Structure 1
């Protein structure tokens, strides 16, 4: 059957308007997240407004809320993004080639660089100063940062258990122990302002000792 043609004078169909579910601008989202990471780490949660983040990202405040909903969500996403930047999931899923000892050293160096950065030390102080952060905010920080890292490392350990490289009954506990050992005495001393940034040689010595201690406890 021959299809019927529309009349010659018919108006073209109106263009379909983009609905509320249309994809958001990923470039703007990245700019917002980058601005939030910098401002939150420099000035703390209370010292930063959504207006400041919007201005720094070069977008409107409405765009910020469109992408992240509220300040708490943006804070959580910014902390998670910072951790991903320094300790990407690939480091745990596809760690550097070589013996387990070298893989643990690589993870240790990345983690120590993260927690001893100037921004992280400032955030640590802010979270531990009474009156500057509510418990809900501390929980957001914990879940987006330390908890995510510990859970990713626990999965790393589980894979090594299956390969017969380590013998661990409680991977969550072992993960917590590893990162607590990595903090050691250096991190609290730096957080209290009682020592300057350690030299690369001092950091390497500290991480090597931590890895050896951990392997003596759990190596198969």
Structure 2
């Protein structure tokens, strides 16, 4: 379905705003820059988004929605638990460490005190969105007796795995913005996280 003129302008503004917010952060992205890149007048910009705050919120919500859609596309492989965990972790970490997602992380964290609601939205789109997939992998492994059922809690194990997976890799990339890890490095980080988790659980 084709977009009407107003919808096209809204999308153009959000796209331009996303470019500058991710590149320069909230304070560095001016409405003048955004308006010119979007190809609209200042009046049109403020007609669609009355404040810079509302525009930033729209950008974050749009990016979070896109991220969630990509996370939900990560399927649960029908393989042994360790292999399933590796594949899920690899897909998630590749997505997480993409330059545009790291830039969004920096922008949101920097403005979290000003926009606490957006910070929660960002968290729900990031760490929280992948937890059910990993928890389901744990449940499946328990049912297939690939893990010993000694009272392990799937959601807790999923949280532990994501905490380890994100830890060193995301911190390194955040502090080295010019560094883009290749698949070999990502695979190494994921393997380390899988090994750490497997050391926590009892194998049959």
Relative to the length of structure 1, the TM-score reads 0.63
2:181 paired with 1:198? yes
**Match of residue 69 from structure 2:** 89
Alignment correspondent of 1:27: 8
User: CA contact under 8 A between 2:17 and 2:56: conserved in structure 1?
Assistant: yes
Following TM superposition, where does structure 1 have runs of at least 4 consecutive aligned residues deviating by more than 6 angstroms?
none
Superposed displacement of residue 40, structure 1: 0.6
Q: CA 1:115 to 1:90, structure 2 compared with 1: closer, same or farther past 3 Å?
A: closer
What's the offset of the Cα at 1:185? Answer: 1.8
Structure 1 unpaired stretches of 5+: 1-22
Which protein has the larger Cα radius of gyration, Structure 1 or Structure 2?
Answer: 1
1:77 aligned to 2:55?
Answer: no
Question: Map of 1:41-120 to 2, 5 A cutoff?
Answer: 41-85=22-66, 87-89=67-69, 91-92=71-72, 95=75, 97-99=77-79, 104-120=85-101
- C-alpha change, 1:178 and 1:25, in structure 2 (3 Å) is farther
- Match of 2:126, SS? helix
Unpaired runs of at least 5, structure 2: none
Is 2:187 the partner of 1:210? no
1:135 is displaced (CA, Å) by: 0.9
Q: TM-score normalized by structure 2? A: 0.66
The CA deviation at 1:181 is 1.5
- Between 45-54 and 204-213, report the one with greater CA deviation: 204-213
Contact preservation (8 Å) 1:116, 1:187:
yes
